[in-house]
Structure 1
Amino acid sequence: MDSTPSRSRVRRSLTPLAAGACAIALAGGCTGRGPAPAAAPAQQAAVSRAAGDLEDRYRSVIRDVLPSVVQIGAGDGLGSGIVYDDKGHIVTNAHVVGSEKTFDVSVATGEKVLKASLVSSYPEQDLAVVKLDDVPDGLRAAEFGDTDEVEVGQIVLAMGSPLGLSSSVTQGIVSAVGRTVSESSSGGGTGATLADMVQTSAAINPGNSGGALVNLDSEVIGIPTLAATDPQLGDSAAPGIGFAIPVSMVRTVADQIIESGKVTDSGRAALDITGRTVVDDDYRPAGVAIVSARKGGAAEEAGLRSGDIITRIGGTRVTTITSLSEALADDEPGQKVTVTYTRQGASKTAGVTLGEI
């Protein structure tokens, strides 16, 4: 059910370490004069203790968090979700719930399948909340962390139901933060442009969507949503490149849906237009034509109108609808930006005070 952004592929060659090959040991380097000296017993013991301590932390995190990660059956598809509170609210991806209104939810303990109903879906941020019809005793809500404390290099675990294998756990690190990625609108995706995503090397596969990306303090720091693909290989998955919606956005959307039944304040900037990608004489994407501008909206108030072709937002070039969304992803409602556009072949600029999605 996962929709995936396109990414270029870097080819890597891995060579097995054959017998007699030179390896770097903790106790010494590698030379051509013979084997490196064995590590001292005290060093070996320290390494063993460190490995054992890390393994114990993994086990502790899994015990703490996995009971809060569920499998969601939505029509013919499967995804994952996280128990958000003790009232039976579960947060997941909008593309997991799709157009369905009722769901089958399986908890990690393997008890009977529970029924749930949609509270609201917010495709613009690919998030949704469903609620269990009957809340079982002992339902455990996950603990959510702080986006500001997420750092590159942190060890993380991804928990969910990849390929329908419930209660699965994969391990990796935070590879990058602040990524802006766009989902495909095909294959069940929402077509959303998502900002401030957490990139991770933990394996993200179909069915992981809506699950939990967790730090070693047993805190959810994101919801795995996308796995990068390689279009040159028929959109095969690119190993080690996955993306999770940051916990700050998860909380913002989920809290509004639970309180109001919908998102009332998206925090996402908009031009208040509908548009379409246009191409140049060589059939290359060349901008976004305004099909309509909402009356009283940001674009209309700035003097933009139907037929204008947007080519830049500030210093960022705009060639497609996706690039327009990405150019606006880091801006805020109420912020003023310079929009460059063409009208009847002439290039113009306008100062636009951005609206809100």
Structure 2
Amino acid sequence: MDVSRTRRTLRTTAALGSCCLALVSGCSVPGGGSAEDGSTTAQQAAVPVSVTDLQNQYLKVIKNVLPSVVQIEASRDLGSGVVYDGSGRIVTNAHVVGNEKTFRVTTANSEEPLTASLVYSYPEQDLAVIRLDKVPDGLKPASFGDTQKVQVGQITLAMGSPLGLSSSVTEGIVSATGRTVTENPEGGGTGATIANMVQTSAAINPGNSGGALVDLDGRVIGIPTLAASDPDLGGSAAPGIGFAIPASMVKTIADQIVKQGRVTDSGRAALGVTARTVVDENYQPAGVAVVSVQPGGAADRAGIRTGDIITKVGDDHITTITSLAVSLASDRPGQRTTVTYSREGVRRTVGVTLGGQ
């Protein structure tokens, strides 16, 4: 399964469709009769109320949160963003901003697009912050939730500008948490390996990137970033499999950008090496060769040298650069692990205290 970015090229023609949401109220006694104790009548009266309550909650969340979701237009691409604070800062995906420095932003309260400038882009986590050049009246920052409280089965709403259709909303559930996903750089992503992503069945389409994945309390629990694609179907989207960067990581990165103008501590573990994938005699990926070692870094302190071939980190077998990134993505700086490598044909295993990046 490949994962590709979800921004939209403006020159692409959008295919429009329609959909409806049917709410099932439940069952009743055939013929509408009442039980002798009157309980059926009470149950029948309660069901429509619960359906109405759910619908009203949807409406409330959309009304409260949608004004915090904006459309971002670069010179050739279009995506979404979430208002981060009252000073006009907006968090989005790094692959939405690309190499651009200036943008056109359409907010819920602006009839005409506003101008914005890049504050900082952090492709390693596919996050970026831009800032409106002029803050409009009524700009409403979003409220971000606690990633630790996100549960599988929880109802979610994805808000953004899929296919250029601003202020669009799709609905689904949290399908899984804790996913580690590597972006496909050939699909336009940054190539980042991102840990602890929220998987959702809410439709994530081109243009949703950088928008909001929201719970029914009106809190942003993630930034929609990736949609899965099936290589067996020519790379077409796999329906109902989308991924969002968790709110905790969004806040960690965005807060540093806001306060310091850059990211100084990503919270991601690192070995402190640059490396490349090597192949065996059958031309199959067989490990990661160390090209250089950062002085004083985790690998250097563990005695790993240039030319060593890493084949295992902890219990994870390492065959490619991507598998190394995936293995490290869920680890934290300061964590202890082991690294198995070969040097001049001799296999060795050493303990390593992971560094940061």
TM-score by length of 1: 0.89
Q: Aligned partners of 1:110 and 1:267: how far apart in 2?
A: 36
Q: Which structure 2 segments of 5+ residues have no match?
A: 7-25, 34-39
Superposition map of 1:319-338 within 5 A: 319-338=319-338
Q: Aligned partners of 1:214 and 1:354: how far apart in 2?
A: 34
Q: Is the aligned partner of 1:318 residue 2:318?
A: yes
Name the structure 2 match of 1:17: none
Name the structure 1 match of 2:4: 3
CA drift at 1:109: 3.7
Q: Aligned partners of 1:283 and 1:47: how far apart in 2?
A: 63
**What amino acid is aligned across from residue 63 of structure 2 in structure 1?**
R
Contact 1:98 1:188 in 2 (8 A): no
**What amino acid is aligned across from residue 102 of structure 1 in structure 2?**
T
Deviations 1:275-331 (A, max 9, x none): 111112222211111111122221122111121111100111111111101111121
Contact 2:109 2:138 in 1 (8 A): no
Name the structure 1 match of 2:139: 139
Deviations 1:101-128 (A, max 9, x none): 0000001245210000000011111110
Name the structure 1 match of 2:189: 189
Deviations 1:65-123 (A, max 9, x none): 00000000022000000000000000001111111000000012452100000000111
Contact 1:176 1:198 in 2 (8 A): yes
Superposition map of 1:213-224 within 5 A: 213-224=213-224
Q: Which structure 1 segments of 5+ residues have no match?
A: 6-24, 29-35
CA drift at 1:252: 0.6
Structure 2 CA distance for partners of 1:43 and 1:110, relative to 1, 3 Å: farther
Superposition map of 1:1-357 within 5 A: 3-4=4-5, 26-27=27-28, 42-357=42-357
CA drift at 1:130: 0.3
Task: Tell me the SS of whatever aligns to 2:140.
Answer: coil
TM-score by length of 2: 0.89
Q: Aligned partners of 2:320 and 2:205: how far apart in 1?
A: 28
Deviations 1:2-34 (A, max 9, x none): 8259xxxxxxxxxxxxxxxxxxx7348xxxxxx
* Coordinate RMSD, CA, aligned: 1.8
Q: How many residues align?
A: 331
Q: Aligned partners of 1:283 and 1:145: how far apart in 2?
A: 46
Q: Aligned partners of 2:55 and 2:110: how far apart in 1?
A: 24
Deviations 1:258-284 (A, max 9, x none): 000001111110011111111122222
Q: Aligned partners of 1:286 and 1:38: how far apart in 2?
A: 69
**What amino acid is aligned across from residue 354 of structure 1 in structure 2?**
L
Task: Tell me the SS of whatever aligns to 2:186.
Answer: coil
Contact 1:108 1:166 in 2 (8 A): no
Name the structure 2 match of 1:31: none
Q: Aligned partners of 2:153 and 2:266: how far apart in 1?
A: 30
Contact 1:270 1:355 in 2 (8 A): yes
Q: Aligned partners of 1:120 and 1:290: how far apart in 2?
A: 30
Identical-residue share of aligned pairs (%): 67
